[in-house]
Structures are given as structure tokens and as C-alpha cells.
Structure 1
Amino acid sequence: MGQLDNKTAVVTGGGTGIGLASAVRLAEDGAHVFITGRRRAELDAAVEAIGGPERATAVAGDISNPADLDRLYEAVRARGQGLDVVFANAATASLVPLEQITEKDFDHVFDVNVRGTLLTVQKALPLLNDGASVILNASTAADNGTEAFGLYAASKAAVRSFARTWANELKDRGVRVNAVSPGPVDTPGITDLFGEENAADVRTKLATDTALGRMGRPEEAAAVVAFLASDQSSFMLGANVFVDGGENQI
């Protein structure tokens, strides 16, 4: 028996990285997981990694596009069991210092990380079962002031704020909202953001920023997501759980 047997979960950005690791873990705990992302090939591979169509369903889309989210939740609705877990994980980042930020840069980051997170949770509301768990993926970047990360950091500070407000608004339904804030986790996003030629040096630098002296693994963040998704965290509401190897703690 798994702690999420007969539950239904949604993981945005579920094709790679923390999203994929979390989808795998939620399925291992018994949930049927709906994943979404923009790259169909990655999603198809992720479904197989999660356990095949019996354990996972992929719906391609962009969380900043309301129509794509409508298609995702229509697939959840068609399953007929409501929704028990939402992990609003999908995000994007850019490296742009203040003097170079354009409106396009701002819109790109905030449309996905802030507007997309809002729409992900808002459109899930009619499907949420009593006792459901909503988990928002924030970041240590919201607190540490890394140069050229201003847009990403500000967007993740907004996500952290959402968790507090929505926890208060949804508590009377028995819906718990919490956030997880990963630190340096080794995902394909490192290469996507910094480039293949810089990725190794960036990983080395990020590892030295943690008290543990290493980067985290996606599975370590996924374990916290699974905890927040389950009844084991039943007395947690509006919390922000750091999974950062001590980066922002000591």
C-alpha cells in the first residue's frame, strides 16, 4: 500500500528534472500522475520512466497558455476521480543584469513563473478533492540576491507569497498549500541556462555554495514533494521547505 494509493496528481514541467523525479516518486507512492510540458518527446519518455500509461498521462502544453491548461484539466476531469495533488513546478529562468532587462525578458519570466503558476492552481480549483495538497516550487534564489538573476528571483518571491495567501484562502476546504524551495539541484536546466561549455564550471561553483559541498539530486527534492503531498505533512500549511544543502541556512 502506498501513501498516495488511488490519488490523482498533476505535475507541471514533468518532463525532466525535479518535475520528472517528483512524478516518478508520486507514482511510486500510488498516484496516477498527469504531467505537462512543452516538449512532446520528453513527455513521452517521461511517461515510460514513470511506469507507462497505467501510472502516468502526458498532456503537452505551456502553463502560460490558458487553453493548454484547460486541455490538461479536461483530461484529469475525464478520469473521474478529481484531483488530490498539484505540484506547480514548471518555470523558466534568464540571466540578465538590471541594466539589460527588456520588457520581453520580464514578460517571458513572469508569464511562466507567476502568471502560469497562478493559472495552474486557479484552474485546478474545481477539481480539487477535500484534503488535497497543492505544492508550489519556489527557490532559494528568492532570498540570496544572485547577480543577473533578478527576474527569476522576483518571480520566485511571488510564488512564495502565493503559497501563504492561497493556504489561507483554501484552508476551509481542507486544501493545504505549501512551497518547496530547492537550492542548487543538478538538472538539465543548468546546461540550458548556462550553455554546454560553462555547465561543468557552474556545477562546481554551485556545489561549493552549499554547506554539504555538493549539488542536490532531483530525487532529494522529489522526496520532499512526496512528503508535502501526503498525510504525513497534515499539520503543515503555508510552509516553505528548503531543500538546499544548507545554502541559505548556515
Structure 2
Amino acid sequence: MTDYDILRVFCGPTGGHGNALGVVRDGSVLPERSDRQTLAAELGFSETVFVDDPERGVIDIYTPTLRLPFAGHPCVGTAWLLDVPELVTPAGVVGARLDGEFSWIEARAEWAPARTLRQYAGPTEVDALDVPPPGEWIYAWAWEDEAAGRIRARAFPGRDDGIDEDEATGAAAILLTDRLGRALNITQGRGSQILTAPQPHGWVEVGGRVFLERECSPSAGRSAGTPRPAR
């Protein structure tokens, strides 16, 4: 099997939670889209990234069932891993920066796949939601503290691919930030943290903590299981 890294993106303040991400640093080992899609399905992460040019930051993103022109948590995680000033995606060039414990990207809301942003009266209603049947991609959210920009959210991709709920989704956070027009501090899933801030001319920044969970090298029989903290 192909070598890949496992990251956790948008981790909580103590380093827990976060959305798992697979990153194949040498995309040349699987140049065909069909092979990449097959590996993404086998790995089973909500997204898997193939790096086609690590110096320029050229990447290719897949869910277990489809290819995406842009996605938030894959870009935040891969930008941190490669330590590059930008990423080149099919949707456009994504700005990237590291700021202390946070990895940030800058993207446009129109790059994000369509999402239904569904507001609820309060966090307890969001917490009580059952996973809906496959179909609509729903980002359920409620204010925890509107004055402070704090939000409770859960994400239901609505796909029949084994991913019932996304632990942390940067693209949906970008869409919500664009709609509300203000900086947000989002607690999603079991305790992941996503920070956002609107920027001039239709851009939105989204950031969070990234941890390297392990490096998987099946061909060499190596899988380092000790998490490494963000740089």
C-alpha cells in the first residue's frame, strides 16, 4: 500500500478531537484519478489529499466517493504539513500561514461545495440531533454566545460512504462566516475548534490546530503511532 500520513485537523485546546486527514505526500505514486479514488475509499477518511508538487503546494482532494475542487480541513492540514505560503487546488490558489499554534488558510466561499446551513435555537438542540438519512449535506449550528461569536455546530455529509458525521469541516465554516459576515469561534463534533474571520473582497480565513497522528509506511512495515504536536 502507498505511504501516507494521518493528521488531525481543528483539534481542541488540549490537542484532542480534530478531523482525521490522510495525506499522500508523493502523489506521483498514484497519478491516475481512479487509483486515487480507490485509495481514498480504502482509507475511509472524510478526505484524503494527494500532493502533486510539495514546493508549489499543488494538491488533489478526494472523499471516499468523489473528487473535490476545494475542502477546508484538507487545506488547513496539508498547508501545515508542507509549510508552504499557498496551496494550488482546482478551485483556485489558497493562501496559507502559520500563526503560533494555529494553521490558517484563506479561501473564497464560492469554492466550497453546497451545504445547507441550518440554524437551531440553542446548543442543546444541536447536541440532540440524530444523524439524518443520506441525501442533503447539513451543517447544523446554534449560537453559544452571539456577542462573542461562539457557535456550536455539527456536520452531516448526507453521503452513503460510511461518514455519517464530520468531526470538523472548514468549508462549511467558511460558508457560515460568509453568510454572517463576522469572525467565529466554532466548537464542532465532539470538541473540535475552528476559528474564522472574514477578509476583504470576499475572502475568508479559517484556522485551527493540527497534529501529526502517525506516518504509515506499509511497504516498510512501519506505523509510528505516537502523535506529534503542531509546530
What is the TM-score of this pair, normalised by structure 1?
A: 0.28
Higher relative contact order (CA 8 A, sep 6+): 2
From the two aligned structures, give the one with the greater strand fraction: 2
What is the TM-score of this pair, normalised by structure 2?
A: 0.30
